[in-house]
Copies of this chain bind each other. A is one copy, B any other.
Amino acid sequence: MRSHTLSVRTDPAVIDLLGALAYGELTAFARLAEDARLAPTLSGKAALSQMAAAEIGHYALLHREIGVRGGDTERAMAPFVAAIDAFHDSTRPSSWLEGLVKAYVGDGLAADFYREVAQFLDPSTKQLVLDVLADTGHADFAVREVRTATAVDPAVAGRLALWARRLVGEALTQSQRVFAERDGVAELIIDGTGDLAGVAALLKRITTAHSVRMQALGLST
């Protein structure tokens, strides 16, 4: 009889999942740091830079976890480089506000996905992931800045709502690409949620949380 932890340690799909998350964090860092240059003020630049820095904290956690499980972070990330790079290349913000919406919406979607995935992991890893996610709060400034801008010019809200829809669409496209190529990851999520109805419920929870964020930004449609 294998212990649950040992079984997790040796499941290549878990390493895959952690590798995908790790590369996601590493790229989120680089893109947020780049988008911070669009900031009209130095404090805006600092705020987005701080969001970027938080992503690297998550990366460090995932890197350690992959090592504990006997994996190699670089190898674990490799299969997901193309899909995640494609997401970012197709969603380059052309303005500071687009950058903020991407940071807030993207960070939120990623965090929700993390929280769901944490449920499939052994208790200590689960707690570690949830603890890291509790350490956010840099996103409030994004909400404030976007709400201020849309209050000044309501037409901005419509354009940003479209932009947010495009972000979600591209995220779904690239996720499907990953699931199609990596059967193990798809199975892990199906097994974790119980069945396809469980996967649908997971997607519903993530979609609902996204709508709440869009309302917080004042971009609900």
Residues of chain A at the chain B interface (Cβ within 8 Å): 23, 26, 29-30, 33-34, 36-37, 41-43, 45-46, 49-50, 52-53, 56-57, 59-60, 63, 73-74, 77-78, 81
Contacts and interface: CB of A to CB of B under 8 A. Distances in A.
A153 B30 CA distance: 30
Contact of A33 (B29, B74, B78): B29
A49 B41 CA distance: 23
17 contacts: A26-B42, A26-B49, A29-B52, A30-B45, A33-B33, A33-B34, A42-B74, A42-B78, A42-B81, A46-B59, A46-B63, A49-B59, A50-B59, A52-B53, A52-B56, A53-B53, A53-B56
| Consensus secondary structure, chain A interface | helix
A49 B49 CA distance: 12
Given A30-B45, A42-B78, A50-B56, 13 more contacts: A26-B46, A26-B49, A29-B33, A29-B49, A29-B53, A30-B37, A33-B34, A34-B34, A42-B74, A42-B77, A46-B59, A50-B59, A50-B60
A74 B41 contact: yes
- Count identical subunits in the complex: 2
B45 A53 contact: no
Given A33-B33, A33-B34, A23 B42 contact: yes
A57 B50 CA distance: 8
Contacts of A41: 74
A34 B33 CA distance: 8
